[in-house]
Amino acid sequence: MSQVSKRNLVIMWFANFFIAGSMTMVLPFISLYIETFGEFSRSYVQHWSGWTFAITFVTAFIFSPIWGRFSDLHGRKKILIFSGIGMGISIFLMGYVTSVWQLFILRLVMGVFTGFIGISQAFISTQTPKEIAGKVMGTLQTGSITGSLMGPLLGGILADTFGYADTFKWTSITIFVSAILVIFTIEKKLAGKEGAKINYSSKEVLLHIIHNPVLLTVLLISSLIQIAHFSIQPILSLYVSELHGPENIAFFAGIAFSAAGLGNLLMARQWGKIADRYGYIKILIVLLFMAGIFYLPGGFVTNMWQLVLVRFALGVTIGGIIPVRIAYIRQEAPIAMQGEVLGYNTSLRFFGNIIGPVLGGLISGYFGFTAVFISTSVLLILSAVILLTTMNRHPKLVRGSV
């Protein structure tokens, strides 16, 4: 990597750190925040926490490919700054809501600007040599992981100390900091192979994806992975409350969230390096199988600390899935269309984020928390089976990543 690329990586590492930390500061207590708006039943809170959590990703699902295409045509730096400012304003206003509907609408508006981390991945990916893409993307992800690790803990402390509303206001400040950091990056002119096209139509991008069944499968299972992973997110604080009790619930919910982040942090870069050596698709299949196995015991724990241990083990495997997947896309997509292809990847992930929380809320409401963990495990293992089958049917398409 050039000195400019290394400098950009460092800046974007910190920007992602602040974005992820800010976003996860408020995630553990969205359901608890809803409870402060009135006297609601547990089922009502579970269902609406799922919808409120998911609605951000509805608009994000629509806008991610659009921002990806804009970033290919007009530069990623401008889109990153725009995204950071939009998210900051949205979260700041959430500190003043007084009803579920107001929170719901602001979360919907926020989705238009969500996608900072995905665009930053495209920003760094296009400056990275293919042979070290896994390691570099893993390094970048440690920024968002570290933020995700610290965010729930800090958010829990702020919420217990100052209240939920003020925590949203403090959170918005760090998102504005991320937008400011992007200003100091240097956007390099994208350079592909000599004679390569410098831009592609959306039709050409879609045809490129469709004509590569392995790439198409990697993109599609992004939704299954997110459905699985996010099904537990909006009701995790309620599960912790059931296991631990109501005392300092925001803080202990933060610990449960952060446990997965710690395992993620320890292994993300290592999984990227391993995948650079042995092949992105092979390692991705292994990680999906392992994640499915590690998720299952979470539904049968009997105390808070068992849940923390299970989530740590899960984080060890989940940590490699994103950088390995991004590195594979970096390998298979021409440089001039990578923003849009990664936009579709982000969009499909957001689609999973839409379905996952709602599904988790419904399953937990009707069948209990254990059923959520079981269904999550099944979906992850199913994703691994689908990708393994596709790899065996089209071995030539994964030869380059082996």
Q: Please say if the pLDDT value at position 389 is more than 90.
A: yes
Q: Please say if the pLDDT value at position 50 is more than 90.
A: no
194 within domain boundaries: no
Residues 6+ positions from 222 with CB-CB distance below 8 Å:
325, 345, 348, 349, 352
Phi/psi zone of residue 97: left (φ > 0), alpha (ψ -120 to 50 degrees), beta? beta
Between 343 and 28, whose confidence is greater? 343
What residue type is 84 in one-letter code?
G
82 within domain boundaries: yes
25 within domain boundaries: yes
233-266 per-position pLDDT tens digit: 767 777 888 887 777 777 777 788 778 878 878 8
192 within domain boundaries: no
4-45 per-position pLDDT tens digit: 888 889 999 999 888 888 877 776 677 788 888 887 777 778
For the chain, what is the domain count? 1
Q: How far apart are CA 54 and CA 186, in angstroms?
A: 34
Say what the pTM is: 0.77
379 within domain boundaries: yes
Name which of 118, 106, 102, 99 is nearest 40 in CA terms.
Answer: 99
Q: Compute the mean pLDDT over every residue in the chain, rounded to the nearest whole number.
A: 83
175-228 per-position pLDDT tens digit: 999 999 999 988 776 555 555 566 778 888 889 889 889 999 999 988 888 888
List the CATH number of the domain containing 353.
1.20.1250.20
CA 92 from centroid of its chain's CA atoms: 21
Q: How far apart are CA 98 and CA 388, in angstroms?
A: 48
Radius of gyration of the chain from its Cα atoms, rounded to whole angstroms: 20
Domain of 28, in residue numbers: 3-186+199-401
Taking each continuous run of H as one helix and of E as one strand, the counts in the chain are 16, 0
Q: How far apart are CA 248 and CA 160, in angstroms?
A: 7
Residues 6+ positions from 402 with CB-CB distance below 8 Å:
278, 279, 281, 282
143 within domain boundaries: yes
In this structure, what token pair is assigned to residue 219?
């993109």
349 within domain boundaries: yes
